[in-house]
């Protein structure tokens, strides 16, 4: 199991190393004005990814010491992730700082993933009614979520 998580961690790290210079070199009008189907700018998507890393880091930690199944707030439910974006005002955050927040949030979750206790992988998070996820599922799904939003960013970069 640890080998699989090393692979996930490496993939996240490789994506961070690939995307950091891409993000840093975007023109202001591209990262502040173009919007995806959820009406988010690239700045807001990057902020959301930092939130995702932070929230998932907390879930991963809690699931290793709390009784299972464990209820932890699902910040993505009912539009709450948009509230997080708005309350933190990512649209007006300094771009260079936001990129670094994203980068180091991603690198930290890699460290956390690499140090997961394999005996806890079947512990469950209750994300909502009838929506339980194991610690293992949370970890393996994180990369899918990251790639989904990076592909949205790529579409916005290439949008004319």
Domains of the chain (ranges, CATH numbers)? 2-158 (1.20.120.450)
Mean pLDDT for the chain overall: 92
- Of 31-35, 51-55, 95-99, give the lowest mean pLDDT range: 31-35
- pLDDT band at residue 48 using 50, 70 and 90 as cut-offs: very high
> For residue 20, what are the CA distances in angstroms to 24, 95, 110?
6, 11, 16
- Of 68-77, 115-124, 151-160, give the lowest mean pLDDT range: 68-77
DSSP letter, residue 75: T
The 10s digit of each residue's pLDDT in 52-76 is 999 999 999 999 999 999 988 887 7
Percent of the chain with pLDDT over 90: 78
Give the orientation angle of helix 95-114 with respect to helix 135-158, to 10 degrees: 150
CA pair distance 157, 153, nearest whole angstrom: 6
- Of 61-65, 86-90, 133-137, give the lowest mean pLDDT range: 86-90
Is the pLDDT at 127 greater than 90? The verdict is: no
**Position with higher pLDDT, 12 vs 160:** 12
pLDDT at 78: 61
Segment 145-152 mean pLDDT: 96
CA pair distance 93, 100, nearest whole angstrom: 11
Tokens, residue 100: 């670094």
């Amino acid at each position: 199991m640890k080998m699989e998580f090393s692979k996930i961690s490496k993939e996240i790290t490789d994506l961070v190393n690939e995307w950091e210079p891409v993000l840093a070199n975007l023109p202001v009008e591209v990262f502040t004005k173009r919007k995806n189907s959820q009406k988010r700018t690239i700045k807001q998507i990057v902020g959301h990814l930092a939130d995702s890393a932070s929230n998932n880091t907390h879930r991963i930690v809690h699931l290793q010491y709390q009784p299972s199944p464990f209820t932890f707030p699902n910040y993505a439910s009912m539009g709450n992730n948009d509230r997080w974006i708005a309350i933190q005002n990512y649209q007006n955050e300094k771009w260079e700082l936001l990129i670094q927040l994203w980068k180091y949030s991603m690198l930290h979750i890699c460290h956390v993933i690499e140090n997961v206790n394999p005996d806890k992988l079947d512990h469950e998070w209750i994300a909502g009614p009838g929506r339980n996820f194991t610690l293992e599922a949370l970890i393996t799904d994180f990369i899918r979520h990251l790639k989904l939003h990076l592909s949205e960013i790529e579409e916005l970069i290439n949008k004319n």
